[in-house]
Amino acid sequence: MKHIIISIFICFNCIVCFAQLKADNENQSDSSKPYALVAGGSKGIGYGIAEALAKRGYNLILIARHLDTLQFVKNKLQTKYPIHVEILAIDLSFDSSAYVIAKWCTDRKIHLKVLCNVAGLGGANDYLSFPLDSLRYMVSLNIESCMALSLTLLPLLEKNTPSYILNVASMAGFAPIPIKNIYSATKSAVVFFSYSLRYQLEDKHISVSCLCPGPVFTKPEIVKDTKAKLGWFGMKMALDPGTVGEYAIKKTFKKKLIIVPGTLAKISSSIIRFLPRRWVVSLYGKAGKKKSK
Ligand SMILES: NC(=O)c1ccc[n+]([C@@H]2O[C@H](COP(=O)([O-])OP(=O)(O)OC[C@H]3O[C@@H](n4cnc5c(N)ncnc54)[C@H](OP(=O)(O)O)[C@@H]3O)[C@@H](O)[C@H]2O)c1
């Protein structure tokens, strides 16, 4: 009897140890999974991109200004997918942000494989109706933060090749748009930056892609503006952020350079890129004069 009790006790201990070991292994494999950093990943297209990465088993580092939204998204993604989500509430328009983020990742030896520069500012009007400070803010968020993060996180991406950079520009980056003067200028800078960076990093096995979507319904103002300025065609061309995020990540992993989601947007962007610039600027200029109700 004594022997039976001892045997049961040993078996029970073995089962407990095995379960503990299994849990430890699972935790370890979770945090040793590769990470993707999504700058502007708490809402809209950035959230769509973050979810597409979570589905593929990537741990995430999400960056945005508002901690409450980040916390909400972290809980949602961690409940739905077996991944770790780290959140950093940082304003990407500050000069110091890229250094702070790179230090945070380096100190924790983050196994970074994907960088997505998504955060950006648009709106229906700019240049002639915006104060200089707002224009500077747009330039520093849309261009500088993307270039700065790509540079400061490069050493980590180099360590974990093959790795990927996804910059989010816009179809507006293919054309001069009078009413969105500075916005389209910043997005064309992101497109050109991506072309060159891809060439420069090819030998290092870091692939660079650039997402150039047409209208994406991330907020009610975009729906209103698209309806007013682009009419039926614009409404047909528009996509939801989840579809855009999924498509962008699928094409990023296929190492596509320019990513335009949606058939109508693809056709329109090919025409825009082919037509003489003075025609395009005039077409957009006329469409821009239509007021949203
Ligand atoms: N929506 C469209 O129709 C469309 C079309 C073409 C291209 N795009 C481009 O796609 C990108 C995302 O657009 P979206 O419509 O998805 O935007 P969104 O819904 O407004 O989301 C922007 C994301 O970036 C974060 N963010 C904004 N400003 C930031 C800052 N200064 N520092 C840190 N994080 C910041 C936001 O969180 P917090 O507010 O908490 O900071 C949020 O997570 C932009 O670059 C935009 O130009 C959009």
Any ligand 1 atom below 6 A from CB of 166: no
12, pLDDT greater than 60: no
Q: What is the pLDDT of residues 44-76, one digit of tens each?
A: 999 999 999 999 999 999 999 999 999 999 999
- Residue 103's pLDDT is 98
Place of tokens 């503006």: 225
CATH code for position 237: 3.40.50.720
The answer to whether the CB of 202 falls within 8 A of the CB of 147 is no
Atom from ligand 1 closest to the CA of residue 183:
47
262 CB within 6 A, ligand 1: no
Q: Which helix (H) or strand (E) holds 39?
A: strand 35-39
For residue 143 and ligand 1, the question of a CB distance below 6 A is answered with no
Ligand 1 near 234 CB (within 6 A): no
Does residue 292 register a pLDDT over 90?
Answer: no
Q: Does the CB atom of residue 245 touch ligand 1 within 6 A? A: no
Assigned domain for 245 exists:
yes
Distance (Å) from CA 41 to ligand 1 centroid: 8
Say yes or no: 161 and 273 in one domain.
yes
Residues 166 and 229 in one domain: yes
The residue range of the domain holding 27 is 1-32
The span from the CA of 213 to the CA of 186, in Å, is: 15
Q: Hey, which of 38, 63, 65, 142 would you mutate to test ligand 1's pocket, going by the most ligand atoms within 8 Å of its Cβ? A: 65
CA atoms within 13 A on the CB side of 194: 31
- Is there a domain that residue 127 lies in? yes
Residue with the nearest Cα to atom 46 of ligand 1?
Answer: 120
Q: Which stretch of 24-38, 231-245, 247-261 has the lowest confidence by average pLDDT?
A: 24-38
Same domain, 9 and 85: no
pLDDT, mean of residues 223-246: 94
Let me know whether 124 and 208 are in one domain.
Answer: yes
Number of domains in the chain: 2
Q: Residue 277 falls within a domain, yes or no?
A: yes
Per-residue pLDDT, 16: 39
Extract the tokens encoding 215.
Answer: 């209208």
Q: Give the separation between CA 279 and CA 185, rounded to whole angstroms.
A: 17
Closest CA to 63 of 189, 139, 149, 137: 149
Same domain (yes/no): 131, 248: yes
pLDDT (mean) for 143-150: 98
Tell me the C-alpha distance between 160 and 33, whole Å: 12
- Give the pLDDT confidence score for residue 11 in this predicted structure: 41
pLDDT band for position 91 (50/70/90)? very high
**Comparison of pLDDT for 2 and 176, the residue scoring more:** 176
Instruction: Answer yes or no: is 129 within a domain.
Output: yes
Shared-domain flag, residues 6 and 114: no
- Decide whether any atom of ligand 1 lies within 6 Å of the 215 Cβ: yes
State residue 3's pLDDT score: 52
Reading the block at residue 165, the tokens are 């950079």
pTM above the 0.85 mark? yes
Burial of 176 (0-12, 13-18, 19+ CB in 10 A): middle
**Is 274 part of a structural domain of the chain?**
yes
pLDDT at 23 over 60: no
Please tell me the distance between residue 7's alpha carbon and the centre of ligand 1 in angstroms. 62
Q: Is the shortest distance between the CB of 66 and ligand 1 below 6 Å?
A: yes
81 C-alpha vs ligand 1 centroid, how far in Å? 23
Nearest alpha carbon to residue 234 among 246, 222, 220, 248: 222
In a domain, 293, yes or no: no
* Inside any domain, residue 224: yes
Q: Does residue 79 share a domain with residue 116?
A: yes
Distance from residue 276's CA to the centre of ligand 1 (Å) = 30
Are 28 and 38 within one domain? no
Displacement of CA 193 from its chain's centroid (Å): 16
CB atoms within 10 A of CB 79: 7
Domain-embedded: residue 48: yes
Report the residue among 38, 43, 182 best suited for mutation to probe ligand 1: largest number of ligand atoms under 8 A from its CB.
43
Same domain, 256 and 158: yes
Question: Do 92 and 25 reside in the same domain of the chain?
Answer: no
Same domain, 190 and 104: yes
Sequence-separated (6 or more) residues with CB below 8 Å from residue 110:
35, 61, 156
Kindly state whether residues 128 and 48 are assigned to the same domain: yes
